[in-house]
Amino acid sequence: MNPADVAQAAPVAHDMSLFGLFWQAHFVVKLVMVGLLAASVWCWAIIVDKTLLYSRTKRAMDRFEEVFWSGQSLEELYRSLQSRNSTGLAAVFVAAMREWKRSFEGSGRSFQSLPQRIDKVLDVTIQREVERLNARLTVLASIGSAGPYIGLFGTVVGIMNSFTSIAASKNTSLAVVAPGIAEALFATAIGLFAAIPAVLAYNKLQSEVGKLQSRLEGFADEFSAILSRQIDERIGHAGHHPANAA
Amino acid sequence: MALKLKFNSSEPGFWVSGVAHAALLGAALVGLSFTEEFPDAEEGIPVEIITDNQFSQITKGETSAKEVLPTPKPRADRIADKVEQRDPGEDKRDAPAPPKRPEEMKVAEKEEPVAAQPPPPPPPPKPSQAEAEAKAKAEEQLKLAEKAEAEAIAKAAEAKAKAEADAKAKAEAEAKAEAEARKVAEAKAKAEAEAKAKAEAEAKKVAEAKAKAEAEAKARKEAQAAKKLDMGDIRQFLDNKERNQSTGATGSEVQKTASLGTATGTAAKLNPSMRDALGGILKEQMERCYQPPIGAAGSSVALPMLDVRFNPDGSLANEPRIIRSGPNPIDRTVAEAALRAVRRCAPYNIPAKFAPYYSDWKAWNIEFETNQI
């Protein structure tokens, strides 16, 4: 077969448009492409959600700190936040206050290990909050690290497939080899298309989670310091109500 | 999977991402559906690597032939009508002169006004003769008239001097003579004028006839040129559906099987080492005859380059020439001395092993090295 004829016949046999590339690909390659495209959609969904969530959380923290340091009675603040499903700093505050309250309710006052218990509660709440912020970030990490490999797998399968057809047609002209390889490389392209934003977003979001976590911990430390001071005062002259402290 | 398929304003990620991807895919389908083709690449040229020696031993023939024949020749289907052999000193290729329009050919833009052309001035030989004759005649007659007059005057004077008595008669006679003389002169002048007119008319006739003949000849020539142009008419070229083709290879003799070689190979080429050897042999022989000019020793001299042409027996084919010499007078004298040396040593002893390569060393450029000579 004359290579010139092959070159002429090639555009007819191989539609090099984006859809053509997908449609002529091997079944496995198609599957890889579809999977990677879905992964890209998912990963961008997570990126959008997380970005919104973090900015919301940050704003909520700003607002809470403003209220908290405004000199408002902690009891009042607790009552206003208690009923709501609060997050962030508010959740930490509510958890600690609940523990505090429980210690003073009923007959048996248990001051002995109250600071330790409050610390525990604070730790657990912070952990829960961070977990909530971190949720689904691992998906980004997975897509970021595995995407290129999945794409590469598609490419390897595609190239294997095209080499098999080259062997079958006994023609090594570039016009015969090129379309198959282009199809195969398309899989890697989609893999990288999904993975690159995932990696970048993962790093950015991770650092933001770190910032929020340190802010939560800082607040928890401050709040537990306030509470333990209160406890010490209560032990000194028992009978006072903690709500009057702040 | 924690994705909710219902739209949630606090977590719109899935929808935002899905719509964005769909838009991007649509744009890519539209924008990247046509890939630009590469410009047509030329096929690679197969290259064979050969050594210097092999290159200098390429024989005349064809690359597709099987073997080197004992007498390497390219294939020739028939004997060439015209055999042309040129010396190596000729130019590498012929640049034919651009075709010229035949002088008589009609030019489309500028119609030559053949008929309107004024007839050429009457050819001088005949008319001039007639005129000269007429003139001479007239002059003669004038002279005669003058003479007659003078005679008459003289006669009158004589008569006057002789006798004044017959003055009247004599005066009458004088008048008569005068009148006669005038009459004669007038008649003669008339005849002269007539002759002149006749001659002129004749001359005119001849000239006209000549002009007519010339114009006719010109028209005929033009017609011929036009016919000739018709032969190679452009339309004929355009109508010609036949492919252009050769009538076959030609040579000085018919050769059915080509020798292995190339079309340009000449085989009898000195290889570099042989060239050096021959150069050394020639130089060594020339050095013997070289007398360095006074003043050349010690000073740095630009090397002269000589063009020497040999005969197969080693004698000079023609006078050696200086191709290149330095600008100084000393350089020139050195070049002259080198030239003399070449001439003096003339029949050179060239070993027989170089004989097959005569066409290569036929014209030899020799650079004299002054530190050697």
Question: Which element (helix H / strand E) includes B321?
Answer: strand B321-324
Lowest average pLDDT, out of A108-112, A137-141, B272-276, goes to A108-112
Residue A165 reports pLDDT greater than 80: yes
Q: Which residues of B touch A19 (CB under 8 A)?
A: 29, 33
Tell me which residue in B21, B32, B35 faces A40 most closely, judged by beta carbons: B21
Number of domains into which chain A is organized:
1
- Quote the CA–CA distance of A72 and A62 in Å, as a whole number: 16
> b/e per residue, A206-227, with b = 16+ CB within 10 A?
eebbeebbebbeebbeebbeeb
**CB-based contact, B18 to chain A, within 8 Å:** yes
Question: Which element (helix H / strand E) includes B306?
Answer: strand B305-309
Residue A218 reports pLDDT greater than 90: yes
Predicted confidence at residue A138, as pLDDT, reads 92
Neighbours of A11 (CB within 10 A): 13
Residue A172's pLDDT band (boundaries 50, 70, 90)? confident
Residue B101's pLDDT band (boundaries 50, 70, 90)? low
Highest mean pLDDT among A70-84, B33-47, B293-307: A70-84
Closest approach of B46 to chain A, Cα-based (Å): 17
Could you tell me which chain B residue has the CA closest to the CA of A3? B43
Q: Is B317 helix (H, G, I), strand (E, B) or coil?
A: coil
Residue B228 reports pLDDT greater than 60: yes
Closest approach of A47 to chain B, Cα-based (Å): 7
Residue A31 reports pLDDT greater than 80: yes
Neighbours of B134 (CB within 10 A): 20
In a domain, A17, yes or no: no
Could you tell me which chain A residue has the CA closest to the CA of B42? A4
Predicted confidence at residue B118, as pLDDT, reads 53
Q: Please, are residues A199 and A39 in contact by the beta-carbon 8 Å criterion?
A: no
Residue B22 burial by Cβ neighbours in a 10 Å radius (0-12, 13-18, 19+): exposed
In a domain, A9, yes or no: no
DSSP state letter for B367: E
Mutate to test the interface with A, among B4, B5, B24, B33 (most CBs of A within 10 A): B33
Predicted confidence at residue B246, as pLDDT, reads 67
Which structural domain range is residue A55 located in?
Answer: 23-244
In a domain, A114, yes or no: yes
Residue B180 reports pLDDT greater than 90: no
Average of per-residue pLDDT across B146-164: 70
**CB-based contact, B27 to chain A, within 8 Å:** no
Q: Which residues of B touch A53 (CB under 8 A)?
A: 10-11
DSSP state letter for B260: B
Neighbours of A121 (CB within 10 A): 20
- Quote the CA–CA distance of B78 and B126 in Å, as a whole number: 62
What residue type is assigned to position B217 of the chain? Answer: A
Predicted confidence at residue B2, as pLDDT, reads 47
Name the average pLDDT for chain B: 75
Q: Which residues of A touch B16 (CB under 8 A)?
A: 44-45, 48
Residue B260 reports pLDDT greater than 70: yes
Q: Please, are residues B20 and A43 in contact by the beta-carbon 8 Å criterion?
A: no
Q: Please, are residues B364 and B270 in contact by the beta-carbon 8 Å criterion?
A: no
Tell me which residue in B13, B21, B32 faces A49 most closely, judged by beta carbons: B13
Q: Please, are residues A162 and A180 in contact by the beta-carbon 8 Å criterion?
A: yes
**A14-A16-A21 Cα angle (round to 5):** 90
Residue B373's pLDDT band (boundaries 50, 70, 90)? very low
pLDDT digits (tens, 9 = 90+) for B333-368: 888 888 888 888 878 888 888 887 887 788 888 887
Alpha helices in chain B (DSSP H): 13-31, 52-56, 125-162, 167-231, 234-239, 272-289, 329-344, 358-361
Nearest CA-CA partner of A97 in A112, A107, B30, A80 = A80
Residue B90's pLDDT band (boundaries 50, 70, 90)? low
Task: State the residue for tokens 């995407």.
Answer: A147
Interface A-B: count of C-beta contacts within 8 A = 57
Name the average pLDDT for chain A: 84
Q: Please, are residues B293 and B333 in contact by the beta-carbon 8 Å criterion?
A: yes
Residue predicted with more confidence, B364 or A37: A37
Residue A29 burial by Cβ neighbours in a 10 Å radius (0-12, 13-18, 19+): buried
Predicted confidence at residue A197, as pLDDT, reads 94
Encoded tokens for B232: 């190679």
Residue B58 reports pLDDT greater than 90: no
pLDDT digits (tens, 9 = 90+) for A84-131: 777 888 888 998 888 888 877 765 566 778 888 889 999 999 999 999
Q: At what angle do helices A137-169 and A27-68 cross, to 10 degrees?
A: 170
Encoded tokens for B294: 């006074």
Residue A244 reports pLDDT greater than 80: no
Task: State the residue for tokens 């289907």.
Answer: B77
Question: What is the percent of chain B with per-residue pLDDT over 90, rounded to a whole number?
Answer: 5
Average of per-residue pLDDT across A139-150: 94
Nearest CA-CA partner of A203 in A137, A151, A150, A135 = A137
Residue A14's pLDDT band (boundaries 50, 70, 90)? low
**B246-B251-B252 Cα angle (round to 5):** 150
